[in-house]
Amino acid sequence: MHRLATYRTFALFLFAILVYSIPVSAQLTPKERDSLRVNINRIAQRINARVGVSISLIEAGDSLSYRGEERFPMMSVYKFPIAIAVLKELDRGTTFMERYLLLPKDSIYTGEEETYSDTNFPGGKITIGQLLTLMLVQSSNTACDQLLYLLKGPANMQPYLNDLDIQDMAIANTEKEINIDSLLRFDNWSTPDEMRGLLAIAYTGDYLSKKNHDFLWDKMTETVVGANRIKGLLPKNTVVAHRTGTGYGSYNDAGIITLPSGKHLAIVVFISEAQENPEKCNEAIARIAKLAWDYYSRH
């Protein structure tokens, strides 16, 4: 419990310093906030799905939530907290980035055979650093499960969430288990508000060493999936560090946008139970992100 208070308190202390050093003009006015929420609602109402949104200008402590306290299946967005947990173990010295693991052939997911071929990884030998990169950049399910096994299974994720005082989030199943029974996806859930909180804490806090903090956010920036979601309508070359999640009617994206001012916008858009084609859901996420960009870039 002491660690929990320490990490969360220190992150909040840094956050408070940022907030009180930013002029009030950096925050949205009540009128702007109401207008942004109305426009988000309009976008959400145009698709047959449940939509949750949480946004925060990290340096100003200014936030907005739309159904942000509801539970949504994270899908592959849960690879973000899994990466944090693995990197924490690297910081603790219980393992190391260059450590080799042996990848059994039967653990490779359909569609990922070429990625994990003997040409790329002779004899199935792969390092923890390589698994982290594949999980964060390519959203590899194979890498995700191997890293969860390294952590002794999903049940052992809870202490890491507790350390960061993340309460409205649960990780209970591997990707393999969800592929066998898709209803299990609802056991890997988060509220948009809590995921946005984790983004902000992980970005501004000291839970990870600087080396592993930078590794995490570099890989989140390099991700090759979901270019038509948060990034979809933003100006070219906008820096976005994000993690997507998709499947069974869910279309998610969670990340941090660097604004022209240099400030950082944490944004989470979760779409669940969608009865729409993927293009409409992806477009909804892109339009919500562009709205947030437009409103917060004025400050």
The residues carrying an active-site annotation are 76, 175
Neighbouring C-alpha atoms within 13 Å toward the C-beta of 44: 19
Pairwise CA distance, residues 70 & 63, whole Å: 16
Look at the chain and count its residues.
Answer: 299
Pairwise CA distance, residues 193 & 195, whole Å: 6
The alpha carbon of 22 is separated from its chain's Cα centroid by a whole number of angstroms, namely 26
Handedness of CA 141, 144, 149, 153 (dihedral sign): negative
CB 178 within 8 A of CB 79: no
Pairwise CA distance, residues 240 & 63, whole Å: 18
